Homo-oligomer: A and B are copies of this chain.
Amino acid sequence: MPIDVLNLADKLARFSERWSPRVVAEVNDYQIKLAKFEGTFVWHAHDDTDEAFLVLAGAMRIEFRDRVAHLAEGDLCVVPKGTEHRPSADAECHVLLIEPRGVVNTGDAGVDRRAANDVWV
C-alpha cells in the first residue's frame, strides 16, 4: 500500500450524509473515520469496544444515562465499551472517530439508523 498523505478537510468535503462514518485510514486493525453529525442519533452501546470522538469543527453532545458530555472543537471523549450513549448536535458537527475495524455506528441498537460499514472516502 502506498504511503499517502490525506487532508481531513478534503475528505470531509467529499460527503454530506449525517451519521454515516467514512473510513479515511487504518492503523493495523483500527480505523480512523470522519463523520458529520446533526440532529439526534439513537441510544446504543458497543459491547466489545471503546469508541473515541474528536470534534474537528462545531459542537456536539454525548448523552449518557446519568450525565451529558459537551464537546467543542478540539475536545476528545472516549466512550467506554458497553456504555449506553446517544450523540447529538444542534448544527453540523465534524467528528473524527477511532475504533476497531468492523464497528457499526448503531452498536447494539436496531437497524433503523445503521449506516453501511467500512465505507471509505
A interface residue numbers (CB < 8 A to B): 1, 3-9, 24-28, 30, 32, 49-52, 54, 64, 67, 69-72, 74-81, 83, 98-100
C-alpha spacing A28/B99, complex, angstroms: 9
Give chain B residues whose Cβ lies under 8 Å from the Cβ of A32: 52, 76, 98
Q: If A27-B99, A50-B26, A98-B32 touch, does A77 touch B8 (CB 8 Å cutoff)?
A: no
Q: If A3-B77, A69-B3, A79-B3 touch, does A28 touch B9 (CB 8 Å cutoff)?
A: no
State how many angstroms separate the Cβ of A93 from the closest Cβ of chain B. Answer: 14
Give chain B residues whose Cβ lies under 8 Å from the Cβ of A52: 25, 27, 32
Give chain B residues whose Cβ lies under 8 Å from the Cβ of A75: 5-8
